[in-house]
Structure 1
Amino acid sequence: MKILEVSDSRTWSGGTQQVLLLCQELSRREEDVTLVTNTESELEKRGVASGLKVKPIRMRQDYDLLAAWKIRDLIIKEKFDLIHAHHPTAHAISLLAAKLSGIPSLIVTRRVIFKMKNNPFSKWKYQSFRINRYVAVCQAVKRLLEDYGVNHGRVEVIPSAVDLLRFNLSQDKETARKRWGILKEDIVVGTVGNNGWFKGYTYLLQAARIVTGKHPRTKFFFCGKGTEQMLIQAEELGLEKNVILSGFRTDIPDILACFDIFVLPSLQEGIATAGIEAMASSLPLIGTQVGGIPDIVSKENGLLVPRGNSQALAEAILKLLENPILAKNLGLAGRKMAEQRFSKEKVASQILELYQDSLNR
C-alpha cells in the first residue's frame, strides 16, 4: 500500500504532532508513506529530521488549483493508493487532487468541533462521494459530521495518539521544577495549549484566585503560544507571584514533569492531545464537559466540571489538592488508560485497518 499523508499547517500544534507521529509509526512498520507539507512549515522541518519522505508544496487556501495539480501529478507519478488529509485546507486541496487523479481512496481526519459553513462549497467539501472515510477524533466530532450530512457509515472514531516512551514515570521532576524556580513544597496546577478564547484560560485564572486564597503556595503554569500575554490579566487578579507563563515550548515532557494536576478549562475542544500526554505522565485531570474532553476524562482518571465556571474549576482543584491520595490514584489510572487506548502503536493499527477497509470497498 502506497500512502500519501497531507497537511497544510505551517505552525506546530497538537494536530501536526499527530500527523508526524502517524508517519513515523507507519514508516517504522515499513509502510510506503510520503508526507506532503506546506513549504517552510514546522512539520516539513521535523519530518525531514525524522528521516521521512517529505514533499513540500505551497498550499495557500482551500481549492488551491496549483497545489491540487501538483499533488495530482505526484499521485500519478508515484502510483499512490490512498491519500489522507489532516487539516481543513489540505482536505479541500486533496479532494480536488483525488478528483483529478482518480486515486482509489481519500481519507479525511477532522479534529475540531467548529461548525462548518452552510454554503455549496462547504457542502461539497464535506459531503463529496470522493471521500471514502472520515476519521473523527472523538464522538462529538463524529456527531458534528453526521449532523452536517455525512453518511453515518463513513465516519470512524479514532482518537489522537501519544508516544508513551516520551512521557514516562522516570521524568526528573525535581530538576524540571528547579528550571522554573518551583520549590519542593509548591503545588503546581498546569495546562498546555496555545492561548485562545476557546481554551478558557480566563476561567482558570479566576479559579486560581480562589484556590490561592486558601493555598497560597499553589502555582498555576500556563504553557503555550500566547500565554505570556496573560500577564496583565494575572496582575489585575493579584496572581503575578502565583503564575508561570512560559509561552510556546517544545520540551513538553519536562513541562508536564513540573505539574501535580493538569486542567483542561476549554470552552470548546475536539480532543485535547495535551490531556492525553498528561495522562501518559500520570497526572490527574480536571476537564470541562465539552466536545471530546469527556472521551478522555472520566471518574476513573479525573474530574469533569461545567464549562465557563471558575467556581467549579476551583472546587475541583481544591478537591485534588486536599486529597493527594485520590489525585495520585487518578493519575496512575490515567497512565494505564493511555497505555490501553492512546498509544501511537494502537492508534496507527486502527488507522491502517481503516485504510485497508477503504481500499477493499
Structure 2
Amino acid sequence: MKIVQIITKLDTTGGAQTHVIALTKQLALDGHEITILTSKGALIYQPLNEKNISIIQLQHLKWAINFVADIRAFFEIRSILRRINPDVVALHSSKAGAVGRLAAFSLKLPTVFTAHGWAFTEGVKPIKRWIYQQIERAFARKTSKIITVSNYDYLLAIEKKVVKKEKMTTIHNGIQSYSNKPSFSQNKIPKIIMVARFEQPKRQDLLIEVLSSMNEQEWQLVFIGDGREMEAAKALSLQHDIAHRVTFLGSRDDIKTQLQQADLFVLLSNFEGLPISILEAMRAQLPVIASNVGGVPELIIDSKTGYVVDHDIQVIKERLIQLLENRDLRLQLGHAGFRYFEDRFSFNSMYDKTVSQYLQAHNEKKEIIDVTILDHH
C-alpha cells in the first residue's frame, strides 16, 4: 500500500512520535511506501536513505490554533495528497488529525485516525473539553476508521457520543522486546527516573514537591525530556533545596540505556492516553508509579507490577518510600511488569492490528468506488 502518515510534530520525543516512527519503519520493511507529513523543525528521526520512506515538512502546519495558518495547511496537505494519491491516510495528534482529515476527506481518500488520548478527556478544563468534544464529533463523520490506544478512550468516546462503535477499535500501544534481557541496576543510592516532555499534562512539579518532603530517604532523580516548563521545574528544585539530587538530561536518544541504569520509574500527569514511556519502563524491568488517569490502569496491575496513584502527596510519598527502601520489592514488581509487558504489549500484535485497520479502510473505500462505477454503468 501507499500510505501517508500525518503527525503535527516530529521534533520532540513523545508517545505519538515513537509510535509513528516504529510503525513507519516496519511498514517500509514490509514493502509499503510511506510518506510522513509533519511541521517544520529539527526532526528526531531522519530516514536518510531508508527504502520506501520519505518525510515532507509542511510550511504551514502549526501546533497552536491559528486560523490563517490552518487554512494554508489544509491546502498544502491537500495538494500533496492529490499528488501522492495514497491508498490510505493515517493521522496522529489533534491538529494534524483535524486539518489532515479535512484535506483527505475533500479528496475522498480513506482515513485512519489514531487518538493517542482524547483532547476531551478528564483532567482537561471543562470548557476546552466541551469544545474538543464537538470538534471530534464533527471530524469522526469524515473518518473511515478510528483507533483508540486504550479501552478508557474507547469507552469515553462512546459515552460522549463522539464516534459510532462500528468505526472504532482499541489497539493498545506496543513496542519491540529487547533481543536480550536487560541487566538490573546496582545503584547504591536508588535512582528514580521520569521520561516525559516538560509540557501539560505532565507533572514533574508534583514529583519535585513530593521528593522535597523526603530528605531522610536516600534517592536521586533523573528527568528526561525538554519543553517549556523545564526552567520552572529547575527553579522549583532549587527553591526546595533538592537541586543537588535532581538531574535534568533534556531530550535523549539513549532512553533504553538510561532506563536500564535506573531503579524506579515514575510518571505523574493530569491526563494520558496509553503512555509508551511506561511500556519502555516495564520492558526495562522497572517498577512503575504512575497517575490514575486514562489508560494507565490498563498497563499497571496495582501492587503487582507497580502502583497507580491519585495526586495525593502523602500517598505518592508512601509508595516511593516502600520501593526506595525495599530492593527485593523493586525487583519483584519489575519482574512482574516485564512479564505483563511481554504477554500483552508486543509490537507485532499492535502492528498487525493497525495494518488490518489500514487495509479495511482502503478496501471499504474501494468497494464504494466499485459500486458507484457499477451503478453508473
Which TM class, normalised by the smaller chain length?
0.7 to 0.9
Question: Structure 1 stretches of 5 or more lacking a match?
Answer: 175-183
- Give the equivalent residue in structure 2 for 1:13: 13
Local SS of the residue matching 2:201? helix
Is 1:288 matched up with 2:291?
A: yes
Confirm or deny: 8 A CA contact 2:136 2:162 kept in the other structure: no
Local SS of the residue matching 1:160? coil
Moved more, 24-33 or 198-207: 198-207
Q: Report the RMSD for the aligned CA atoms in angstroms.
A: 2.7
Alignment of 1:156-305 (within 5 A): 156-165=169-178, 169-170=181-182, 184-213=187-216, 215=217, 217-226=218-227, 227=230, 229-299=232-302, 300-305=304-309
CA distance 1:82–1:130, shift in 2 (3 Å)? same
TM-score (norm 2): 0.82
CA distance 1:23–1:280, shift in 2 (3 Å)? same
CA distance 1:78–1:230, shift in 2 (3 Å)? closer
Amino acid at match of 1:55: I
Confirm or deny: 8 A CA contact 1:211 1:317 kept in the other structure: no
| Aligned counterparts of 2:332 and 2:189: Cα–Cα separation in 1 | 20
| Aligned counterparts of 1:233 and 1:28: Cα–Cα separation in 2 | 46
Local SS of the residue matching 1:12? coil
Is 1:133 matched up with 2:145?
A: yes
| Aligned counterparts of 1:349 and 1:228: Cα–Cα separation in 2 | 41
Confirm or deny: 8 A CA contact 2:220 2:246 kept in the other structure: yes
- Give the equivalent residue in structure 1 for 2:2: 2
- Give the equivalent residue in structure 2 for 1:178: none
Is 1:29 matched up with 2:34?
A: no
Shift of 1:70: 4.0
Shift of 1:320: 1.7
Confirm or deny: 8 A CA contact 2:149 2:172 kept in the other structure: yes
- Give the equivalent residue in structure 2 for 1:352: 355
Amino acid at match of 1:202: D
Post-superposition Cα deviations, 1:320-342, rounded to whole Å, max 9, x if no partner, equal 22332222122122222222332
Identity %: 22
Post-superposition Cα deviations, 1:286-323, rounded to whole Å, max 9, x if no partner, equal 112111211211133111121x2121111111112233
Shift of 1:191: 0.8
Amino acid at match of 2:287: P
| Aligned counterparts of 1:228 and 1:123: Cα–Cα separation in 2 | 33
- Give the equivalent residue in structure 1 for 2:56: 55
CA distance 1:120–1:341, shift in 2 (3 Å)? closer
Post-superposition Cα deviations, 1:110-157, rounded to whole Å, max 9, x if no partner, equal 113432664599537644422011111112322333315211222211
Post-superposition Cα deviations, 1:50-109, rounded to whole Å, max 9, x if no partner, equal 552223332435683443344334434433211111122211222222222111x21111
| Aligned counterparts of 1:10 and 1:248: Cα–Cα separation in 2 | 13
Give the number of aligned pairs.
Answer: 346
| Aligned counterparts of 2:266 and 2:322: Cα–Cα separation in 1 | 13
Local SS of the residue matching 1:241? helix
| Aligned counterparts of 2:50 and 2:272: Cα–Cα separation in 1 | 29
Confirm or deny: 8 A CA contact 1:186 1:219 kept in the other structure: yes
CA distance 1:126–1:333, shift in 2 (3 Å)? farther
- Give the equivalent residue in structure 2 for 1:89: 95
CA distance 1:121–1:346, shift in 2 (3 Å)? closer
From 326, 337, 345, the counterpart of 2:329: 326
Local SS of the residue matching 1:247? coil
Local SS of the residue matching 1:13? coil
Local SS of the residue matching 1:211? coil
| Aligned counterparts of 1:119 and 1:256: Cα–Cα separation in 2 | 38
- Give the equivalent residue in structure 1 for 2:112: 107
